[in-house]
Amino acid sequence: MLSVALAALSGLIWGVGDFSGGKATQRAAVLPVVWISKLISLPLLVIYLIAARSIANFSKGEPPPDPSERELEDVDYRYKCIVCGAQVVLYAAPEGEVPDPPRHCRETMSLVTPVE
Ligand SMILES: [Zn+2]
């Protein structure tokens, strides 16, 4: 839908420019009309190029930080399933962060080692 609207807008702008140029050449010589139209369109082209580059840079954006680049610290978190008794040991976790406990038997496992 956007492409159809942009195509229609492009056609409209081209048509207005062509019609206006034709009308202008009925009152003045062709060469000055061409030069004046180029002098008017050149700043518009520069504005378009700046806007297009800004939009292209904006759409790139900054990628989110890579999770593998986060610092890990040695930990010893032991979790136990409150239903079946299965245990999980966590030896590394993001620095300064106590991770959410894992789930087992559809229940959140309980942390059985104290966190300093
Ligand atoms: Zn379980």
pTM tops 0.75: no
CA 53 to chain centre: 14
User: Would you give the DSSP letter of residue 5?
Assistant: H
Tell how far the Cα of 105 is from the centroid of ligand 1, in angstroms.
Answer: 4
Tell how far the Cα of 98 is from the centroid of ligand 1, in angstroms.
Answer: 21
- Whether residue 69 is predicted with pLDDT greater than 80 in this model: the reply is no
Tell how far the Cα of 94 is from the centroid of ligand 1, in angstroms.
Answer: 25
- Whether residue 115 is predicted with pLDDT greater than 70 in this model: the reply is no
Tell how far the Cα of 87 is from the centroid of ligand 1, in angstroms.
Answer: 8
Sequence-ordered alpha helix ranges (H) in 1-116: 2-27, 30-60
The pLDDT, as a whole number, for residue 65 is: 67
Using an 8 Å Cβ cutoff, are 38 and 24 in contact?
A: no
Contacts of 95-99 with CB under 8 Å at 24 or more apart are 95/70, 95/71
Residue 81's pLDDT band, with cuts at 50, 70 and 90, is very high
